Amino acid sequence: MLTRPTRLDDLPAAYRVCHETGLPSDGSTRSPELLGHVYVGPYLVAPGTRSVVVVDDEGVGGYLLCARDTRAHEAWVERHWLPGLRADHPLGRARSISDQEIVELLHSPELAPEEVVDEFPAHLHIDLLSRLQGRGLGSVLIGDLLAFLAADGTRGIHLGVGADNAGAIRFYRRLGFVDVVRSDSTLYMGRRL
C-alpha cells in the first residue's frame, strides 16, 4: 500500500471512490460523477490544497483532501469550478432525486459557518473504500495532515460529518476534534493545531 500526493490522472479513480462511498442509503441511483464534482475535483486542481491518495494492488482506494484556507477555496470554486458545471447540470433536469440534491449543491454550495471558519480555517474530506477501512489508515492520514498544517502555521482545521453518523463522530473525537456547530443534518467539528 502506498500513500502519495494526488495527480491529475487520479481524478477518475478519486471520483469513483467518492461515488462508491457516497451512495444513497435508500438504494437510489446517482450519476457517478456528480458527487466528485462537489467533494473531489476542486481539491485536485485548486491552489492552496493538499491532497493524497491511497493506492493498493487494486488501485486508488481512498483519499484525504484538504483546503488550507476555506474561504479562499470557496471563492476559487465559485469563480473557476462551478460556472461550467452549472451550465452542464441545470436545475430541474437531473435524472433522479439523488442527482437533483447534488445538482442543487452545484448551484447553491454549502458554505462553512463563519464561527467554524474563524477558528478553524482549513478543512478536510476523507474517504476510504471498505477494503482499506479498519486498519488505522484514516488516523495516520489525518495525523500526517495535522502535523503538516501545524508546521505550516495553520491554526485550526474543521470538517463536516453527518449529524447522525455516530461512528464517524466518535472517530474524529478520538483524534481530538471537538463539536463546534450542529445543524439538522451536519455536525461541524474542529481541531486547533
Contact (CB, 8 A) for 141 and 54: yes
DSSP characters over 130-184: GGGTTSSHHHHHHHHHHHHHHHTT--EEEEEEETT-HHHHHHHHHTT-EEEEE-S
**Which residues, 6+ apart, have CB-to-CB distance to 183 below 8 Å?**
163
Cell of 115: 464561527
Grid cell 474530506 is found at 125
CATH 2.40.50.140 fits 2-192, yes or no: no
Contact (CB, 8 A) for 19 and 32: yes
Is 0.85 topped by the overall pTM?
yes
pLDDT tens for the 193 residues of the chain, in order: 899 999 999 999 999 999 999 887 777 778 999 999 999 999 999 999 999 999 999 999 999 999 999 999 999 999 999 999 999 999 988 888 889 999 999 999 999 999 999 999 999 999 999 999 999 999 999 999 999 999 999 999 999 999 999 999 999 999 999 999 998 889 999 999 9
* Structural domain boundaries in the chain: 2-192
